[in-house]
Amino acid sequence: MDSVAKIAKVGKGTVYTYFDNKEDLFDEIVDSTIKQMMNVANKAIKPGLPFHENIRHVLEAILAFRQKNNRLFKKSNSGANKNGRKHSTRP
């Protein structure tokens, strides 16, 4: 959490105001990323196009999002593996 506070240029106590622990912060990052990916996917859907073309557009958009945010995905995967988790444990 020290690194997060330093990067955000806030005190460590401020980070703990919003997140109880590293796992909560990690879960929020994962949830936010999923929401962004869903938004990207929804924007890629073009009404009137055949289903298979829309699927292709959605997959291309998600791949582009992942490439643009490659560093985030690498960090989140290593964070999940360090904690012995494969995904968010939030309901």
Q: Which string of DSSP letters, residue by residue, matches 33-78?
A: HHHHHHHHHHHH--TTS-HHHHHHHHHHHHHHHHHHTHHHHHHHHH
> What local confidence, expressed as pLDDT, does residue 32 receive?
93
> What local confidence, expressed as pLDDT, does residue 80 receive?
56
In angstroms, rounded to a whole number, what is the distance separating the alpha carbons of residues 77 and 15? 22
Write down the mean pLDDT value for the chain: 86
> What local confidence, expressed as pLDDT, does residue 89 receive?
56
Mean pLDDT of 44-66: 97
Residue range 75-89, pLDDT digits in tens: 666 655 555 555 555
> What local confidence, expressed as pLDDT, does residue 87 receive?
52
Residue range 27-52, pLDDT digits in tens: 998 899 999 999 999 999 999 999 99
